[in-house]
Structures are given as structure tokens and as C-alpha cells.
Amino acid sequence: MSLRRRLTLSLCTILVLFSINVGTHFWGSYARQESMLAYRSSVTAAQLSTDAAQLLENQRQQILVLETLRETTGDMLDAQELADAEADIASIERKLEELGALTSEVTRPQYERLQQAGRYLLDSWLAFYRNFNDPNFDSDIDDPLPFVETLEHLRQLEQRQAFIAAQRSTIIDRTIALTDRITVIGFIATIFLTALLGFFLLRYTKRSLKRLKRGTEQIGMGDLDYRIADFDDRGELGDLAKAFNDMSDKLRRAIEDVRQAKDDADDANAAKSRFLANVSHELRTPLNAIIGYSEMLQDELGDAGEIDRAQFQSDLDKIVRSGRQLLALINDILDLSKIETGKMTLHLETFAAGDILQQVCDAMIPLLRERENRLHLPDWSGLPPMHADATRFRQIFLNLLSNACKFTRDGDIYLEASHFQRAGEPWLQFIVRDTGIGMDAAQQARIFDAFVQAEDAISANYGGTGLGLAICREYCELMGGHITVASAPGAGATFTVELPATAPVSVHAGA
């Protein structure tokens, strides 16, 4: 029998005994409650009987006194005295009704006889009070029989209720004693059975766990070829032995995965190293231009001859362009650092997307002329206003158009813009399409990763650090949108940017 079945059988046995104990306990509690209710009902009924008898006696004495005064002095009852007398009789009626509420089926005949006699007596008393001032009213109020009969019925009801309460109390007390004995026996049996089952389970489990312990020790010492075999348990312990055997196989595979992960980490470090080499090259290029032209201008200023102002201005322009190129590269590195650390924050403002894009296109004119490319622009007038980060928006399309120019020679670059509704909110779609060198599927899968270019030869042939598209993707996601690419080798590339007209508020990169 498996450990699970042993435990289940033991647990069910203990639960059955425990349920019997709990049921017996509630049975005893119910009996105690019934005993208390019977006692309270008996006490209440006795008190009501005593109160009713006392009220009847007081009322009887009062009526006899009034009857004597009526016959001897001829006194009259005023309205207040009559109202007080009716209230007293009503009070006696309420006592009898309360006593009836405590009457059971067994005592119902005694109560009905009491109710009949009491109603006759109280009606005669009420008639006496209401006709007290009538000199022609002939009262038989002196007859003691109705009063005595009512008291006798009241006494019989009280005795009957006391007798029944005593019987119920005896029965309930016996029930309580029985439930107490059953509860004690049940608890003792539960303790004994639990101890017995625990002993056998412990012995069985200890024997099985020793074999598992030997297996884990062997596996823990690195013997991944060790197997826990010939295990006679077909339940959980057998499954555990099989799990240990599977674990050794998984550990072997995990070690291989760790080795592979180490190789991947080495590749990532190599990619970082290549990125640093590319960055160093990209930094040196504008720095060399800045330093070289600055030294030339310094030498030219040191010459005694006349300065060629046109050449001087051309050299200064080259220094400025190199400085801006260097600043853009440093800004890209800093922006990526902010994005990776989750510290990039959007500065939201309302702007016209067409105006920003026109500024970007104007800035691209020198690069377009250098690469002999033609830029085709759409009509911006139909675009809705945007509430987003204008600087990040400008940077997205500056990077996309720069990439399109860089990888296209004597070709066409198209910038398209449109707007649509999504979930009831306005969105804008921008497409940057070129006729350049294009990319295959593997290159498209990694161009949005930081420090990565489509292939290593691109850095040597076209320059760049591999940060531009990664930053574009992060900016698009920060503003609640996304960017996708579609391309084929030799057929150019198409980048699609979709952004909501209203960017999310208080967005942080990495959040």
C-alpha cells in the first residue's frame, strides 16, 4: 500500500472519530440548552402563576370591600376609579395570556379550563365595576365559587407544568451524562488510534526515507549517474524516488544550460566590447575633425598673411557639425542609460506633429544632398494635435530619417502620415520608407536591440553605434505606441510608427 493510501486511511479514521466526538459534543450542548430553556420556562411559568394568583386575590379583596361600601354607604365610583379597575382586570388578563404562551401541548387542557374559568370570573368583575353606580344592578359578587374555581385551575396548571419540567430535566440530564461519557471515550479512542497509526506510519516512512537519503547523498556528491532503484513503494515515495532520478538528469542538462548561458554571456560581453570599439571610433571621428580643424585655424591665425575668410568659415562649419555629431552621440548614450535605469521621464506638451516633422526634414537636407537622395513629404494639414513629448517625438524621426539616408544612395525616401481611431481615441501613424539596402528576417529580429546592428560589417561600412533604433523603440513605448519594421534584402526598409494623440501621463521608462 502506498504512503498516500496509508495516510488517507489513517486520516479518514481519525476524522470519523473526531466527527463523532464533535457531534456528541453538539448533542450535549443542545441538551444543555434545552435543559436551560425548560428550567427558565418552568421558573417563568411559576412566577406568572404566583403573580396571577396574587392579582386575583388582591382584586377579590378590593371588590368585596367595594360591595360592602355600596350596600352600606351608597358611594359611587368616579371615572378615574373605573378606569383604574378596568386596567387592573386587563393586567390580570395579560398575565393569563403570558401563562398560555408558555403552555405546551401536554398542559393545554389545564390551561383551557383555567382560561374558561378566569374569563367568567373577570367578566363578572368587569360587569360589577361598570354597573357599580346603577342602584338597580343586582350583583352576585359575594359568590366565592368562581374565584375558588379559577385559583384551583391555576394551581393545577402550575403543578402540571412543574411535573413536566421535572420530567424533561431528568431526561435531559441523562442525555448530558451519556454524551459526556461518549465524548470521553471517543477522545481516548482517537488518541490511542492516532498514536498507533502514527507509529506504523513513522516506521514505514523512516525505512523508505533512508533509501531516499542515500540516493540524495550520492547525487549531492556529484554522482549524477546514480539511480534509486528497486523501490517497492508505488505511491508518493516511489514518485519521489523517480523524481530524484529525473532530477539527476535535469541537473546534467542544467549544467549544460549553464555552460551555454556562460557562452551567451561571453557573446554579450563581446557585443558590448564591439559596441565600445564602435563608440570609440565614432567618438574619435568628430573629435579628430574638431581637433584637426581647430589646429589648422590656430596655425592660420598665427601666420602673418591675410586670412582666407571663406576657408576659415568652412573650417568652422566643419567643427560645428563635428561637435553636433559628437553631442548627438553622447546624448544617445545618456538617453539609453536613463532608459535602462528607469529614469527617463516624458515632458508632455501640446504640439503639431507636422511642424515638428517639417523641422526634422529641414535638418536632413545636408545629409540628403550628401547621399544624393530625394525626400517625399505628405500633407500635414489633416493631422490632429498631439499631447506628448515633442523632443522625444523629434528624436524618433530624426533617427529614422538619418538611418534611411545612411543606407540609401541616390534613392528615394518617403515619409507618410495619417490618423485613425482605436478604442475611441485618436491615433497617428507615420511611415518612413526607403529604397536602400534592406534587411533579411534575422537582421530585422535584432535591429531594435541596444548595441546591435544588422551585422558587424555595417559598422565598418556605414558607421554608427547601433543605438538609434533601440532608442526609437523605447521612446515609442514610453509614449504609449510602438514601432515595427518590414524589409527585404535589396528592397529597402519600411518603419511604421503608431502613437496615441495623447501620451500616458507621468510615464517613466522601465516602469
Q: Is the separation of the CB atoms in 31 and 193 below 8 Å?
A: no
Quick: pLDDT tens for 472-503. Answer: 898 899 889 999 999 999 889 999 999 999 98
Quick: pLDDT tens for 82-92. Answer: 888 889 888 88
| Same domain, residue pair 7 and 112 | yes
Task: Please check whether residue 506 lies inside any domain of the structure.
Answer: no
Neighbouring C-beta atoms of residue 460, cutoff 10 Å: 10
Quick: pLDDT tens for 128-187. Answer: 888 888 777 777 777 788 888 888 888 887 887 777 777 777 777 777 777 778 778 877
Q: What contacts 322, CB < 8 A, 6 or more positions away?
A: 285, 286, 287, 289, 290, 293
pLDDT at 206: 73
Which percentage of the chain shows pLDDT scores above 90?
A: 14
Question: Which of 3-12, 28-37, 117-126, 460-469 has the largest mean confidence?
Answer: 117-126
| Same domain, residue pair 257 and 188 | no
Q: Is the pLDDT confidence value at 508 over 70?
A: no
pLDDT at 233: 57
Q: Is the pLDDT confidence value at 1 over 80?
A: no
Range of the domain at 452: 342-500
pLDDT at 451: 61
| Same domain, residue pair 239 and 326 | yes
3-class DSSP state of 9: helix
Total domains, the chain: 3
Nearest to 480 by CA among 434, 439, 425: 425
Q: Is the pLDDT confidence value at 460 over 70?
A: no
Q: Find the helix packing angle between 236-302 and 145-220, rounded to 10°.
A: 70
Kindly state the average pLDDT of the residues 276-284: 63
Q: What contacts 368, CB < 8 A, 6 or more positions away?
A: 374, 375, 405, 413
Task: Please check whether residue 217 lies inside any domain of the structure.
Answer: no
Query: What percent helix, strand, coil does the chain show, rounded to 5?
Result: 70, 10, 20
| Same domain, residue pair 58 and 27 | yes
Rounded Cα gap, residues 311 and 299, in angstroms: 13
Domain of residue 280, CATH code? 1.10.287.130
Cell (9 digits) for 375? 525626400
Q: How far apart, in Å, are the Cα atoms of 86 and each of 97, 137, 344?
A: 16, 18, 92
Domain of residue 32, CATH code? 1.20.120
Grade residue 37 by pLDDT with cuts at 50, 70 and 90. confident
